[in-house]
């Protein structure tokens, strides 16, 4: 997508909670669909992700890539979304908005409301659950002060709840393992893994009624998983008469290489041959439990 910060990559569609960023459902885009398809790509994505909604007291919000008049009229849930004015069946506004805070409403014959509002630039919104009413919002003007303007209720509501997917992406990307050398399936795996971890963290904070840092949740989780793998690791082979080799014993050391924070920075012995100007890059405040490969700098 040429207008996005990351123009190339694996596209994942997500349905998230507007307050916490909890990912309810996701779908990986796998290219152009074959055979007979109905509607636009955005309409098909929304229809697919809403199939798993269990409750009825749900309201959806999405951006202009997905929004269309046909989607608003066929969707089974209340929804609101920004829209492109040139999209099919969007009402044609004839008047021009000239003053900030001005708005105009049109309603289709099936009850879908289209609102147009002039902020710093013109915004168009479609909604199947809002009326043509106004709310008060504060906006910053050129001198830095804030003024109160009238705004369509649909746009004011949209600005309050939008950003859930961005919040989910932000939390996942904090500790995401992403390298350019990774295979594509590794990127997908680690993305799904971190999404599951973040979802678990959100659920934990909700149940405990207190929020802890994400890192304080990930570290004990990693320790528990590595400890579980250590006790479950088995190396089955025919026993010999001599002393067991170092290789066979090392297979039981699953979980012994978790980094441990230290009070001082140390230098890796295996990188001690580097020049002084490169030492900053090899000093590390963490050390490995086994083997002892660090010495004090």
Per-residue model confidence as pLDDT tens digits over 247-289: 555 555 555 556 667 777 766 655 556 555 554 444 555 555 4
Taking the chain, what is the end-to-end CA distance rounded to the nearest angstrom? Answer: 47
State the pLDDT at residue 238.
Answer: 61
Cβ atoms of 296 and 276 closer than 8 Å: no
State the pLDDT at residue 51.
Answer: 93
Cβ atoms of 99 and 118 closer than 8 Å: yes
Cβ atoms of 124 and 116 closer than 8 Å: yes
Rounded-to-integer distance, Cα 112 and Cα 291, Å = 67
Rounded-to-integer distance, Cα 164 and Cα 230, Å = 38
Q: Mean pLDDT in the chain?
A: 81
Burial class (CB in 10 A: 0-12, 13-18, 19+), 138: exposed
- Tokens representing 223 are 């320790």
Q: What's the pLDDT band for 202 if we cut at 50, 70, 90?
A: very high
What count of other Cβ atoms lies within 10 Å of the Cβ of residue 95?
8
Q: What's the pLDDT band for 75 if we cut at 50, 70, 90?
A: very high
Q: What's the pLDDT band for 106 if we cut at 50, 70, 90?
A: very high
| Residue that has been written with the tokens 């809403």 in this structure | 50
Rounded-to-integer distance, Cα 161 and Cα 81, Å = 11
pLDDT in tens, 26-55: 999 988 888 788 889 999 999 999 999 988
pLDDT at 124 exceeding the cut of 80: yes
State the pLDDT at residue 92.
Answer: 86
What count of other Cβ atoms lies within 10 Å of the Cβ of residue 126?
26
- Tokens representing 122 are 């013109």
Rounded-to-integer distance, Cα 102 and Cα 35, Å = 45
Q: What is the dihedral of CA 160, 163, 164, 165, to 10 degrees?
A: 160
State the pLDDT at residue 294.
Answer: 38
The per-residue b/e assignment along 101-123, b for 16 or more CB within 10 angstroms, e otherwise, is bebbbeebeeebbbbbbbbeeeb
Burial class (CB in 10 A: 0-12, 13-18, 19+), 162: middle
pLDDT in tens, 149-193: 999 999 999 998 887 778 888 898 888 776 777 788 888 899 999
- Tokens representing 248 are 């066979």
pTM: 0.74
- Pairing status of strand 79-82 against strand 12-16: unpaired
pLDDT at 213 exceeding the cut of 90: yes
Helix and strand totals (H; E) in the chain:
8, 12
CA distances from 34 to 10, 63, 185 (A): 19, 26, 23
pLDDT at 208 exceeding the cut of 80: yes
């Amino acid at each position: 997508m040429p207008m996005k910060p990351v123009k190339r990559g694996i596209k994942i569609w997500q349905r998230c909670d507007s307050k916490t960023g909890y990912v309810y459902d996701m779908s990986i885009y796998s290219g152009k669909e074959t055979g007979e398809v109905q509607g636009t790509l955005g309409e098909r994505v929304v229809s697919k992700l809403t199939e798993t909604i269990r409750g009825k007291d749900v309201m959806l919000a999405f951006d202009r890539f997905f929004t269309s008049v046909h989607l608003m009229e066929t969707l089974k849930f209340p929804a609101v979304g920004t829209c492109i004015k040139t999209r099919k069946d969007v009402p044609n506004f004839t008047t021009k908005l000239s003053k900030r805070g001005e708005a105009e409403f049109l309603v289709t014959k099936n009850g879908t409301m289209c609102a147009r509002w002039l902020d710093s630039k013109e915004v168009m919104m479609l909604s199947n659950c809002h009326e043509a009413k106004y709310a008060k919002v504060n906006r910053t003007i050129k001198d830095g002060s804030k003024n109160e303007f009238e705004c369509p209720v649909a746009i004011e509501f949209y600005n309050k709840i939008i950003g859930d997917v961005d919040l989910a992406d932000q939390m996942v990307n904090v500790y995401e393992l992403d390298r350019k050398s990774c295979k594509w399936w590794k990127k997908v795996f680690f993305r799904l893994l971190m999404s599951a971890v973040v979802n678990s963290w959100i659920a934990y904070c909700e149940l405990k009624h207190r929020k802890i840092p994400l890192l304080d949740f990930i570290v004990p989780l990693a320790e528990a998983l590595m400890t579980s793998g250590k006790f479950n690791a088995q190396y089955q082979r025919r026993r010999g008469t001599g002393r067991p080799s170092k290789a066979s014993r090392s297979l039981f050391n699953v979980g012994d290489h978790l980094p441990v924070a230290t009070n001082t920075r140390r230098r890796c012995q295996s990188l001690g041959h580097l020049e002084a100007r490169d030492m900053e890059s090899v000093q590390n405040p963490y050390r490995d439990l086994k083997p002892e490969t660090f010495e004090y700098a």
